Structure 1
Amino acid sequence: MIIARYLLETPLDPEKVAAMMAGEQSAGTFVRVPGETDELRKRHGARVQRLTIVGERDRPTLASAYLERQGASGPWRQAEVEIAYPEDNVGVNLPTLAAVVAGNLFDLGEVTALKLVDVTLRPEYRARYPLPAMGIDGTRRSLGVPDRPLFGTIIKPNIGMKPDEIAHLVQMLCEAGVDFIKDDEIVGNPVCAPVCERVDAVMKVVRQHRERTGKEVMVAFNITDELDAMRRHADHVLAQGGSCVMASLNWCGLSAIQALRQHTPLCLHGHRNGSGAFGRHPAHGIAFPAWQTLYRLSGADHLHVHGMDGKFADAIDEVAHAARRCLTSLGAEDDRVLPVFSSGQWAGTLGQTHSRIGGSTDFLFLAGGGILAHPDGPRAGVESLRAAWEAVSVGDDIARHAVRSPALARALDTFGGR
């Protein structure tokens, strides 16, 4: 069975509404129809496995014209609901899986708020979907970094540079010692820097750096587009010696990401931009644990989780929980994905990032301004991260450690009051 957990809000009997949800998303509708036999319901009907009342409100979170027509009034009770859906209703079909556990549920008139909290799968069912091509271990092997966090940055300014200007910046960042560089999410195939021209210019300097130093730098080229274009762009990145492509998951969609995974052996860097529209409200939408389960079934290797004390709205606990979920296998095989911390990150946020995910070093730490805006330049920005990690890894205070690292001291002076 596929288990979905929800937070439900309704002024009606929550048990009846939950049962209606299970029927709506499996074998039933609002009335019994011909052919809807007891045998069919037993075989294909979803069932409510658990319901717990957790609170109530004196007003609804969202309006419902349906309830207004019924003259329904409060209190609006909130309940945790767990529903089990038969796997055979879905088969191996990722968009349909999403339609089953979410679908029309958010629009039901009986509901004034609904949050899809999590989706849990049997290991045997998870194994029927693509695994990451590289995942955590493959990314580490590619970069030759076995035992510390991976440090990277983002091309800034976000957009407007020409391919040769981007290549110049990438060369500077390679020489500064980064492990990873990515395009911004708004840079797909702009007129100022078409993706193929960008790939050619950037990979030329990456290959030269590799040949000169033996050091691999992974570049995540943003190939977000319609599926055929993404396939072509991925092929071009591979032909130029690249190792990674990036896509905006929410706007490409589950089936396009799954098809891209099946097409290319490249590392697939999954950007979550837009996820706030689905999950930011505490009572309505799709929470990160459920969202990441679906996109991990598409075969992504890396997933963004935002950042500690960053520029986005997420609480530290939310960011930490998202990262820990990425580091938890969905099935029997190691299908963990690399959590990517970004947004307002710098040397000073590295310590709590490490501690809040249980001391794991399996994460990609992206510092845009934290590297590029360091007052002594990108090399010093990278040095500040390395020095901060030296302190964090032995339990030392980074401010005390900064006495021995001018780059870290300057980072603390520059970014510490933000």
Structure 2
Amino acid sequence: MDQHPYIGQPFLKREAVEKRILFSVNKGRAYRGKAVETTYYLTAKSKRKAPEFQGVEDAIRMMLIHGTTELWPGPEKEPSAYKKHMSWLKEIKFLGINRKKKIERALITISTPLRFFDTLPNRIPLAQLRMATQSEPFNGFCDFTARVVDYKFPEEFKDKFLGQIWPHKRIRRYLKIGKDEPIIGTIVKPKWLPPEIFARRVSQAAISGALFVKSDENLHLTKKELAEYVSLTVKMLKKNGFDLSSTPKAGKKRLLFAPHITANPSDILEYAKIAVDHGANCLMFSPHFSGDFEIIREIYAMGEKYRVPIYTHTAGMNRCCGDPSYSSGDDPRVVYLLAALSGAAFMQLPALRGYVRPTDVEKKPIIDRLKQENLIGNDGMTLVIAGGLGAHNIGYNIKILGLQGKMFLAGTAIFHHPDGVRAGIDAIKLAVEAADKGIIEVPQLKKYAESLGKKGAPLLRALKGK
């Protein structure tokens, strides 16, 4: 697709049609109490010989009826609280009509009353929220598709989210680094390694200057294996002068080590307990496979010892966000918003000029949405720039995205460097130094590396073939 269908697109001026649809679909839906506002990108089939945007109007009516409930059908008297369970259309803006393909497009906002789905007094009912705003009425009917673009929550509902336990400033404080020093991390490669080699590679990366090391998301271990991998790695790190405790001793080196614990929802807490009990001071899992973001709250509820930073991996996210036509599932900004509100310390934002979704055009709206909620920067979730990151593009990412609130994670670029792990990290650090001088494009980076003589060799080797 050459152009995004709704990001940055102008709206058509159709005030009369907006009023017609608002009046028509909201008949009998008079309740205006506290509600979650969900914005959708709606694509619907045009109706033959029907008024303009009749397809959109019919789709919205179906979404309201099947998303919450229909007008009272009788014959009994309508219960007094019935209307408090009915959604309504708050806003509609038109994006266009493709008359050849007979497709109508609009951005709409539907309000869903808290009374309808908010079933938990002190927690976020994420499953019910998704059922009420994302299930069959929105993506399962034949004549339209609705992509969730954004949520706006009432304050009393938003206050039930866990919030940021490990904001970016606390990560920097734990690692004992200044506000302008880039956080460079890595991913152990290849994906599978026996425990001794895995532990050695984590230690090599840490000794070479990585501040964060995680296993690959496709390193799948039994509980017994997880205990072995983590304990052996922590032992080797301690031997090399690292202290992974919650309050590292003076003079000890610091590192965040995150084993991968994605498992069935029924097993995830036990995996988290095993990893921390054997010395891990950070955890990584995919909420898209292991029970959603509220798992973070459950891990922390096990006790203070387990309130370590948690990296919510994007594995599985693009089953919902990766539609190449951007017409179904979730806009990724929704996922990042829920992650940050739910207490995720880290979440990957794929590198610019990388190869992983979300696409580059989707990244600014993600950052802007997090800014609106003060969930990015020193007080917010750390965005992990990764996925095709290396010496060739880290400078560009720093220039466009900035250092504050970010961590830069390179895996293959470090572990597959022809001169080894230390050279891989040195190449990344040299590229960061070059970026500070305004040098970010590959031809200039090569000249910069050559100008450094022997010191620039790791960077020059990393850029070979780029």
TM range, normalised to the smaller chain? 0.7 to 0.9
Which residue number corresponds to residue 275 of structure 1? 317
Which residue type is aligned with residue 260 of structure 1? I
Distance change (3 Å), C-alpha of 1:368 and 1:100 = same
Q: Taking structure 1 as the reference length, what is the TM-score of the superposition?
A: 0.85
Among 96, 118, 126, the residue aligned to 1:55? 96
Contact 1:387 1:405 in 2 (8 A): no
Which residue number corresponds to residue 37 of structure 2? 3
CA distance in 2, matches of 1:26, 1:127: 24
Which residue number corresponds to residue 136 of structure 2? 104
CA distance in 2, matches of 1:93, 1:169: 40
Which residue type is aligned with residue 92 of structure 2? L
Among 366, 373, 377, the residue aligned to 1:322? 366
Which residue number corresponds to residue 202 of structure 1? 233
For 1:84, what is the secondary structure of its paired residue?
strand
CA distance in 2, matches of 1:258, 1:356: 33
Which residue number corresponds to residue 7 of structure 2? none
Q: Does 1:174 align with 2:206?
A: yes
Q: Which moved more, 1:108-117 or 1:43-52?
A: 108-117
Q: How far is the alpha carbon of 1:17 from its aligned partner?
A: 2.1
| Unmatched runs of 5 consecutive residues or more in structure 2 | 1-34, 48-53, 119-123, 244-249
Among 79, 84, 95, the residue aligned to 1:43? 84
Q: Does 1:146 align with 2:194?
A: no
Distance change (3 Å), C-alpha of 1:313 and 1:241 = closer
Distance change (3 Å), C-alpha of 1:295 and 1:332 = closer
For 1:317, what is the secondary structure of its paired residue?
helix
Q: Does 1:337 align with 2:370?
A: no
For 1:158, what is the secondary structure of its paired residue?
coil
For 1:210, what is the secondary structure of its paired residue?
coil
For 1:305, what is the secondary structure of its paired residue?
strand
For 1:7, what is the secondary structure of its paired residue?
strand
Which residue number corresponds to residue 375 of structure 1? 418
Contact 2:261 2:271 in 1 (8 A): yes
Q: How far is the alpha carbon of 1:301 from its aligned partner?
A: 1.4
Q: How far is the alpha carbon of 1:20 from its aligned partner?
A: 2.9
Cα deviation 1:289-341 (Å, max 9, x = unaligned): 11223333432211122222223254323244435545553689986211112
Per residue, is there more helix in 1 or in 2? 1
CA distance in 2, matches of 1:341, 1:355: 13
Number of residues paired by the alignment?
A: 400
Cα deviation 1:98-138 (Å, max 9, x = unaligned): 22221223444354322111112234421211123313122
CA distance in 2, matches of 1:335, 1:16: 43
Which residue type is aligned with residue 157 of structure 1? P
Q: How far is the alpha carbon of 1:363 from its aligned partner?
A: 1.0
Distance change (3 Å), C-alpha of 1:53 and 1:323 = closer
CA distance in 2, matches of 1:173, 1:197: 19
Distance change (3 Å), C-alpha of 1:374 and 1:321 = farther
Contact 1:326 1:339 in 2 (8 A): no
Q: How far is the alpha carbon of 1:34 from its aligned partner?
A: 5.7
Distance change (3 Å), C-alpha of 1:127 and 1:35 = farther
Distance change (3 Å), C-alpha of 1:333 and 1:136 = closer
CA distance in 1, matches of 2:395, 2:297: 35
Q: How far is the alpha carbon of 1:222 from its aligned partner?
A: 0.7
With a CA cutoff of 8 Å and minimum separation of 6, indicate the structure with the bigger relative contact order. 1
Q: Taking structure 2 as the reference length, what is the TM-score of the superposition?
A: 0.77
Cα deviation 1:162-202 (Å, max 9, x = unaligned): 111111111111111101111111113159x8111111111
For 2:354, what is the secondary structure of its paired residue?
coil
CA distance in 1, matches of 2:340, 2:77: 34
CA distance in 2, matches of 1:332, 1:378: 31
Which residue number corresponds to residue 167 of structure 2? 135
Q: Which has the larger radius of gyration?
A: 2
Which residue type is aligned with residue 406 of structure 2? F
Among 77, 85, 97, the residue aligned to 2:104? 77
Q: Which moved more, 1:326-335 or 1:243-252?
A: 326-335
Which residue number corresponds to residue 459 of structure 2? 411
Distance change (3 Å), C-alpha of 1:332 and 1:145 = closer
Which residue type is aligned with residue 220 of structure 1? A
Distance change (3 Å), C-alpha of 1:365 and 1:343 = same
Q: Which moved more, 1:264-273 or 1:41-50?
A: 41-50
| Unmatched runs of 5 consecutive residues or more in structure 1 | 60-73
Contact 1:323 1:339 in 2 (8 A): no
